[in-house]
Amino acid sequence: MPLSDDATQRFLTYALRTDPANLDKSSDAALFGFVAWALVHEPSALDDHFAYENVMRERAFAETKSAYVPPIRQTAARRRDVGRPRETPCQHNGGPVRRHDDVTMRRRRLLRATVRMSECSREPVAKQIAIHGRQVAYRLEGDGPLLVLVHGMAGSAATWDRVIPALAERFAVLALDLPGHGASAKPIDGDYSLGSFASVVRDLMIALDHDRGTIVGQSLGGGVAMQFAYQFPSRCERLVLVGSGGLGPEVTPLLRVLAFPGAEFLYPIIFASILRNAGRGVLSGLRRVGLHPSAYVDQIWQHYESLTDPETRVAFARTLRSVVDASGQRVSAHDRLPLARDIPTLIVWGADDAIIPSHHATEAAASLPNSRVEIFERVGHFPHCEDPDRFVRVLTDFITSTAPARVTDDQFARAIAKSTIS
């Protein structure tokens, strides 16, 4: 699929603005720049890994001043040249240069690795809005009843990429990056408590002119969703908890270790850029031979990559310690779950969740008479990524088969009074 004339012109404009010398050198930096440009401006150009081979050949042709050899004849020529030196006596600017076939093949391999690595982490460009003077990144797609998606710790709105397109066919889907995560602001003096996160969700809904909606939270986002229902019950039509935190003390030992006092001093070593780059190389190599990581591994890797950013690490440490300590999860919603008895609730969990055990789902449902539980077999901590089709079906059926809650302040006050007396 060749690039359109318009796309080619825009790339030339991009290259002239960023590094004009790249147009002469045909350097690897220019290739990476083109990939970055195309991911933002024309991702369709990357759907075919050979989309711009012709552009490369033309640039190599200009370098070597040699005649263009069609691909089929190039293949035959390479067969005849087996064992010959890689350098040719062709002169350019007074010195020998490499054969343009070799330059093209080297950069073609570089392009494949870059594009494949980008395929699992490519994110639509998020919008930004200032809330209380700090930027919050979000995506809003579709039309209909509002569905708010809240990600987990060290995650971002990108975790919902596999389900947003299908959900947006029937709902207005709002997915945000919580403060300290993704593309949102990461203030050093920020408040990373569940209550603060819930307030940001409420403020974002108001800023985008939405009064109420169904709140969906995964992992840490589940705790935020429950906090939202507690603080702003009149704005919560339904509650969906996906592998949620806040429903029991058990949590993976890894998070407990990372929450140890002083552990943050080891974060730059544990989440070092050199390890990130090595991981990228391994994943790229696996994809080249047709091996692709599972959705679970992909999510864990994206979380790890996010923590190689120093600002994100600071926010992560504060967020983690607000909900987890060396003994496990510090917060529990069980004492307040009865207050949400009038809000339809869906609890989704992976049977093989190794981060938060699935028995938390059934225990929470016992306190919520207006709830249903869905356990996904052979699925871990990310049901929305590991089995997105079933997740969309279950969530859509839940929304269409339940009436939205209309909890008034008076009703909530009576519920609080009743729980206080009992």
pLDDT tens digits, the chain, 422 residues: what are they?
344 455 555 555 555 555 554 444 444 445 555 555 555 555 544 444 334 444 455 555 455 444 444 544 444 444 444 455 444 444 444 444 444 455 555 555 545 544 444 444 444 557 999 999 999 999 999 999 999 999 999 999 999 999 999 999 999 999 999 999 999 999 999 999 999 999 999 999 999 999 999 999 999 999 999 999 999 999 999 999 999 999 999 999 999 999 999 999 999 999 998 999 998 888 888 888 887 889 999 999 999 999 999 999 999 999 999 999 999 999 999 888 888 888 999 999 999 999 999 999 999 999 888 899 999 999 999 999 999 999 999 999 999 999 999 988 788 887 787 765 44
419 within a domain of the structure (yes/no): no
- Give the structural domain span for 40: 5-119
How confident is the model at residue 16, as a pLDDT?
52
| Rounded Cα–Cα distance for residues 92 and 74 (Å) | 21
Number of domains in the chain: 2
Does 210 lie in the same domain as 97?
A: no
Q: Which amino acid type is present at position 328?
A: G
Same domain as 190, residue 110: no
Say yes or no: 39 and 156 in one domain: no
Q: Is residue 417 part of a domain?
A: no
pTM of the complete model: 0.71
Q: Are residues 187 and 38 part of one domain?
A: no
For residue 421, being part of any structural domain is answered with no
Identify the CATH number of the domain in which residue 388 sits.
3.40.50.1820
Residue ending a domain, choose from 79, 99, 119: 119
Separation between Cα atoms, residue 294 and residue 296, nearest integer Å: 5
Q: Which of 119, 137, 166 is the last residue of a domain?
A: 119
Same domain, 51 and 134: no
Q: Are residues 388 and 366 in the same domain?
A: yes
Return d(Cα 110, Cα 31) in angstroms, integer: 8
In this structure, are 92 and 134 located in the same domain? no
Element spanning 323, H or E: helix 310-323
**Residue 310: inside a domain:** yes
Q: Are residues 292 and 401 in the same domain?
A: yes
Q: What is the pLDDT of residue 407?
A: 85
Residue 420 falls within a domain, yes or no? no
**pLDDT for residue 364:** 94
Token code pair at residue 132: 């209380």
Domain match, 44 and 135 both:
no
Q: Which of 62, 89, 119 is the last residue of a domain?
A: 119
**Cα 72–chain centre separation:** 41
Dihedrals phi, psi of 352, to nearest 5 degrees: -105, 25
Which residues form the catalytic set? 219, 353, 381
Same structural domain, 58 and 152: no
